[in-house]
Amino acid sequence: AHNMTMPNKLLRIKDDGTLLYTMRLTVHAECPMHLEDFPMDFHSCPLKFGSYAYTISEVTYAWTLNASESVVVEEESSRLNQYDLLGQTVGQETIKSSTGEYTVMTAHFHLKRKIGYFVIQTYLPCIMTVILSQVSFWLNRESVPARTVFGVTTVLTMTTLSISARNSLPKVAYATAMDWFIAVCYAFVFSALIEFATVNYFTKRGWAWDGKSVVSEKKKERASMVKKNNAYAVAVANYAPNISKDSSTLPTIAKGGTADPSKPKADGKAQESKKTFNSVSKIDRMSRIMFPVLFGSFNLVYWATYLNREPVIKDMVPSN
């Protein structure tokens, strides 16, 4: 495109003997990036140019103007989808090789990644998934199907989010800031599932932590009822010979025998229903407070740490 209709070059000789040589180029440059802080990362992309054949003894390059005038970036061309151009700096260095020393001029473009896309696509879904996993703490511990669905669904959702987030990144050998966030969210979701398994285990063994006392009380109630029934049977056997002689004692025996066993049964049913109806585990009570507090504290430390990292760049010219 630069050859239409003539090559885009200009050579001009001024009155004082100064040569002005300009050329229009389209350069596809690479930018080395360190993604430890992704997606709250900053990058300094260098653009280097110098002589390939002429050493420093023959040609020396130098910036005649400052950074704001030497490197001009138009506002329209500096709009990027994922980055904000913070500014640019210029510099000069000498490179040594086997053929000699060469002057290299460098322009650095300082970029900051826009986090909005990743908040919508990754961070908010992860936070909502963790909150959804903690809803199971407010369900009955006897609601095994509902709590199982909550736990398994949230774990699978976090797995899908982590895979999709990792596929959008270059294959790096270290963990990024987003990887740490997803890993912690995954740990919270998986811990909620383990918490339900723990509650269900203790429920089966005796109604969660207070179950041993309930089981012992039930055994005592049954033993007392058996003793009373045995005593009633003995009383009937003892009074049986006298029934024919004195019929007036029969109602008294019947009333005394039938009234005592019935009362413990009613009391036992009331006590049992009181223990088992709509019961809440102590583990669930603690988890309702502990999990939200820990997750909120993690978010506070995470965002305060990464969002307050501002790069200190010397002699940077801010972009308009």
Residue pLDDT, tens place only, 271-309 = 444 444 456 788 999 999 999 999 999 999 999 999 888
The pLDDT value recorded for residue 315 is 60
Task: Note the pLDDT tens digit of each residue in 236-262.
Answer: 555 545 544 444 444 444 444 444 444
Residue 263, H or E segment: helix 249-276
Tell me the average pLDDT across 205-213.
Answer: 48
The pLDDT value recorded for residue 124 is 96
The dihedral over CA atoms of 233, 239, 241, 247, expressed in degrees to the nearest 10, equals: -120
> Helix 177-206 and helix 282-307: axis angle, to 10°?
180
Q: Which domain holds residue 64?
A: 9-115
The pLDDT value recorded for residue 72 is 82
CATH code, domain carrying 300: 1.20.58.390
In a domain, 315, yes or no: no
Residues 260 and 286 in one domain: no
Q: How far is CA 173 from the centre of its chain?
A: 20
CA distance 235 to 237: 5
Query: What are 309's two structure tokens?
Result: 């990292």
Residues 156 and 256 in one domain: no
pTM: 0.71
Residues 52 and 145 in one domain: no
Are the CB atoms for 257 and 237 separated by under 8 Å? Answer: no
Residues 284 and 239 in one domain: no
Nearest alpha-carbon partner for 205 in 191, 197, 195, 215: 215
Q: Report in angstroms the alpha-carbon separations of 23 from 11, 15, 31, 315.
A: 9, 21, 23, 27
The pLDDT value recorded for residue 153 is 92
Q: How many domains does the chain have?
A: 3
In a domain, 319, yes or no: no
Residues 202 and 156 in one domain: yes
Q: Report in angstroms the alpha-carbon separations of 223 from 219, 265, 266.
A: 6, 12, 15
Residues 164 and 52 in one domain: no
Beta strand 100-113 with 83-97: parallel, antiparallel or unpaired?
antiparallel
In a domain, 313, yes or no: no
In a domain, 196, yes or no: yes
In a domain, 171, yes or no: yes
Task: Note the pLDDT tens digit of each residue in 98-138.
Answer: 889 999 999 999 999 999 999 999 999 999 999 999 999 99
Task: Note the pLDDT tens digit of each residue in 55-104.
Answer: 998 988 888 877 677 888 887 777 888 899 888 888 888 999 888 999 99
CATH code, domain carrying 48: 2.70.170.10
Are the CB atoms for 249 and 243 separated by under 8 Å? Answer: yes
Tell me the average pLDDT across 28-32.
Answer: 88
The pLDDT value recorded for residue 212 is 45
Are the CB atoms for 130 and 287 separated by under 8 Å? Answer: no
- Classified as helix, coil or strand, 123 is helix
Residues 255 and 268 in one domain: yes
Residue 1, H or E segment: none
The pLDDT-based confidence of 205 (bands split at 50, 70, 90) is low
Query: Is the pLDDT reported for residue 266 higher than 80?
Result: no
How many other CB atoms are found less than 10 A from the CB of residue 317? 19
Report which listed range, 213-222, 223-232, 259-268, 280-289, is most confident. 280-289
